[in-house]
Amino acid sequence: MKREYLTGMHPYLTAPIPGTGGFIKESPEDFIVSEIPAYEPCGSGEHLYLTFEKRGITTLEAIRRIAGRLKVPERDVGYAGMKDAAGITRQTISLQGTKPESALSLQLDGISICSAIRHSNKLKPGHLKGNRFQVTIRGVSLTAAESTAAVLEILRQRGVPNYFGHQRYGAQGNSHLVGAAMLRGDWQGAVDCLIGVPDAVRDADWRAAISAYQRGDLPEALQCLPRHCRTERDILQRLAARPEAWEKAFSVVHPRLKKLYLSAFQSALFDKVVEQRLETIDRVMAGDLAWKHVNGACFLVEDQEAEASRAERFEISASGPMFGSRMTQPAGAVMAMEQLILKKAGVSPGDPGPGGRLPLQGERRPLRVPLVDALHRVEGDVLILEFSLTRGSYATSVVREITKMF
């Protein structure tokens, strides 16, 4: 699979409106996100809902630190959504068999405990309504107020293109390539993609480690690897002990990370569908599986004209594929278009992976999402945005339309 087929800059829905330019994430305070829970903990039960604020670390790293200190197996920790390391994020996880006072007394680098309340069930992915964002963009243009207002109005009316975008593909933009190699059973390719390329990173030691790996100098690569590259280090240590044992080396990757790589590959294919449907993103076609925004259910569009008014009212939207063996297929021209994208990527709609060991069940995902309670203000050359999106959607899909920077 060619890297350029699934990456690159996505087209803008608001292309005719000039971008504000500017810079985001200059400091953690420039990107603040808070989960909007699907329900509040009831105050009793065997699970402890722990809400915390993290700064500069990923959700998985926060779980690792909290679980380690409380001596809880990581696999028993529940979470509703994943958040990356950038910015300040407030989210909730669930822990079983943990006392509230033990959790509230935790003092951890990068993590502040906000509350600990009991509930009757474990948190699972998707147990949230969405996320509220506050994004600060610095160094914007003199016309930022006018252009931002114009962009937000279009997004309110037509919807936000539901791209996963670059943050889905990891620090080097290579996560989807790892997932594609996994599906092919190409374990050397999976390791090569995971280690990455020197030009994709800024850290000098990290670049040196990647270059050493590409030369076949594993001791030098291990010596240069930064401390935060734990997965890469584990893989290279396995390879140093057993050269060419690629599958064994890759087996040390955490199961959650493996799922993220496969999901990233699905995401890259979905983004390609959004690109192809962008000009008519607020309409449905015959053969579409229309997404009901009220409950996430889908139905087959048989009469395009009959459903047009529902799409205009934002009751429904066209959906795209997160491909997999159990994903419901659309019909007609829509199905042909989606299957052509999968074919060009080198997979089939129900590809289970090598030997059926890496099953992807698949699902549908809306091509657009509503923009909720969007506010903006400009202070000098600083633009401050506030808005909410449904779960699984990304703030960058809004920010990129405004800045036209990525």
In this structure, is the dihedral angle defined by the CA atoms of residues 173, 177, 182 and 185, taken in order, positive or negative?
Answer: negative
| Residue 199 bears catalytic tag | no
What b-and-e string marks burial along 222-260, b requiring 16 or more CB atoms within 10 Å of the CB?
bebbeeebeebbbbbebbeeeeeebeebbeebeeeebeb
In this structure, is the dihedral angle defined by the CA atoms of residues 228, 231, 236 and 237, taken in order, positive or negative?
Answer: positive
Alpha helices, DSSP H, located in 127-226:
144-158, 175-184, 187-195, 204-215, 218-224
> Which of 30, 76, 84, 282 is an active site residue?
84
Q: Computed over its alpha carbons, how large is the radius of gyration of the chain?
A: 22
**CB-based contact 276:282 (threshold 8 Å):** no
Burial of 136 (0-12, 13-18, 19+ CB in 10 A): buried
Which structure tokens are listed for 367? 């091509």
Residues belonging to the active site = 84
